[in-house]
Amino acid sequence: MDMTNKLCVITGANSGIGFETAKALAKKGAYIVMVCRNEDKAIQAKNEILQTVDDAGIAIVLCDFSIQKEIHKAAEEITSRYKKIDVLINNHGFIASERNETVDGLEETFAVNHIGYFLFTHLLLDNIKAAKKARIVNVASDAHRAGEFDPENIQLQENFSPMKAYGNSKLFNILFTKELAERLKDSDVTANCLHPGVIRSNFGQSGEWYISLFYKVFGVFMTSNKEGAETSVYLASSDEVENANGAYFKNMKAVAPKKQARDMEAAKKLWEISEELCDLTNQPEIQL
């Protein structure tokens, strides 16, 4: 697919696979909107991309995805500036070292990794639908296999652990993608998700000491950020997946996630819970 001047919104684009995704799509001629939490790091990442692609179009929008007010603000900035969004890549990720609650009263990993995807996508969806053959790409993980969907303990008020919270959030990314794809099936928009690989990055530094140690010891055997970005770039730009919708990809191939990740009743229930937590229940249903 010709990506020239296609508008690509990428969250967490200042480092790791988000940065490599942004750079790869900029090389293809896309206009990149980097949605990042830290302005200094975002500017540095933008300048690094411009050193490689000197004529790249790149904008920065700031957002802390743990705060719903900031998600609303970032989405409003994007939708007021750009009437059409060709590609949305929800890429940002986080793992808390202990159970913390955000200003919205949500467990932090759940808030950033799931609600961040859900609410941001919801707020941008009209502008995504305005583009021709738009795509939504959600970065999930095979860590979802350690997760579970328990509506009664969705924010792990009981039996919290950092890896449990992270695994749950990645399962929720897939369930969200499934339900979103179902709602988009009669539209011109597709939604897919992916496992990028076990990435050699600084991601694990926010978790428990043993997570950081794992990354330090086994980092040499892990996938590079550039390799980890390949499936995101593929889903954003390849003609081969033009008609793919609701699929889970690994190494640029559609694969089956765990059974619960394919449970459409769970996907629908998660969507309803998420609407309530984002105070969207009194708003009109997404009309396609």
Half-sphere exposure of 87 (CA within 13 A, CB side): 33
Quick one: tokens of 44? 């540095």
Instruction: Say which DSSP state 114 is in.
Output: I
Say which residues have a Cβ less than 8 Å from residue 77's Cβ, sequence separation at least 6: 61
**Nearest one of 193, 172, 179 to 114, comparing CA atoms:** 172
E strand or H helix at 189: none
215 counts as catalytic: no
Are 166 and 118 in contact by the 8 Å Cβ rule? The answer is no
Residues 245, 132: Cα–Cα separation, whole Å: 15
Tokens standing for 5?
């001047």
From 31, 117, 166, 215, active-site residue: 166
Residue 254 makes CB contacts below 8 A (sequence gap 6+) with 244, 247, 248
The set of catalytic residues is: 166
